[in-house]
C-alpha cells in the first residue's frame, strides 16, 4: 500500500537520528544487506554522507541499472530534503512531470521511492540511504526500516 504524503512527512520526522557517522552508515547498510540476503532480494544499496557513498552493495540478481537508480534517488533526497517517494507522490498529486517542473535532468534525478534523507535532529540533512530493485514503495520501506534499526 502506498503511504500518503502526510504519513511520509510524519515518518521522516520520526526517523531523525541523534547523530551520524561512518560507523552508523555501515550499520544502516549492513541492516539492509542482511535483510536482502535473508530474503533473496535483488537490490542495490547505497548509504551516503552528503553525496559521497560510504556503503555500497549490489546483491545477487540486481541489474547493472540498480546502482544508477540509487544514485539518482540519492540526488532527489539530498536536493529536496524529502524522500524520493514523497517527491513522486507530490508530482503525481499535482500532475507534474518531475523533470520539467524542477528543471532537472532525468539522467541525474529519479523521483521514485527508495531514497530517504538521513537527518540528524537539530542539524539537518547529512546524507541519504537509497535502495533500488524492488517496487519503489518496498524500496522505501526497506530504507526506513534501516534508519529505525539504528535509532
Q: Which residues sit opposite 120 in a β-bridge?
A: 17, 124
The 10 Å CB-count burial string (b at 16+, else e) for 104-143 is beeeebbbbbbbbbbbeeeeebbbbbbbbbbebbebbbbb
Q: Which fold has domain 5-149?
A: Beta-Lactamase (3.30.450)
Domain residue spans in the chain? Answer: 5-149
Model confidence pLDDT, tens digit, residues 22-75: 999 999 999 999 999 999 999 999 999 999 999 999 999 999 999 999 999 999
pTM strictly above 0.75: yes
Q: What pLDDT sits at residue 81?
A: 98
91-122 tens-digit pLDDT? 999 999 999 999 999 999 999 999 999 999 99
pLDDT band for 150, please (50, 70, 90 cuts).
very high
Q: Angle 105-22-68 (CA atoms, 0-180°, nearest 5)?
A: 25
Nearest to 13 by CA among 144, 137, 143, 135: 144
The predicted structure's pLDDT at residue 91: 98
What pLDDT score was predicted for residue 67? Answer: 98
Q: What is the pLDDT of residue 117?
A: 98
pLDDT for residue 66: 98
CA 47 from chain centre, in angstroms, equals 8
Q: Which of 80, 93, 78, 88 is nearest to 135 (CA)?
A: 88
Amino acid at each position: 500500500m502506498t503511504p500518503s504524503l502526510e504519513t511520509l512527512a510524519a515518518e521522516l520526522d520520526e526517523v531523525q537520528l541523534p547523530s551520524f557517522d561512518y560507523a552508523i552508515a555501515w550499520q544502516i547498510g549492513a541492516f539492509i544487506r542482511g535483510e536482502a540476503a535473508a530474503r533473496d532480494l535483488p537490490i542495490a544499496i547505497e548509504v551516503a554522507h552528503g553525496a559521497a557513498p560510504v556503503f555500497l552493495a549490489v546483491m545477487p540478481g540486481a541489474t547493472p541499472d540498480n546502482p544508477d537508480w540509487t544514485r539518482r534517488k540519492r540526488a532527489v533526497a539530498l536536493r529536496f530534503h524529502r524522500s524520493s517517494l514523497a517527491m513522486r507522490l507530490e508530482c503525481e498529486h499535482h500532475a507534474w512531470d518531475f523533470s520539467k517542473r524542477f528543471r532537472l535532468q532525468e539522467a541525474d534525478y529519479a523521483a521514485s521511492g527508495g531514497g530517504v534523507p538521513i537527518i540528524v535532529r537539530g542539524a539537518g540533512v547529512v546524507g541519504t540511504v537509497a535502495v533500488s530493485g524492488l517496487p519503489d514503495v518496498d524500496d522505501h520501506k526497506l530504507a526506513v526500516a534501516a534508519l529505525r534499526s539504528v535509532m
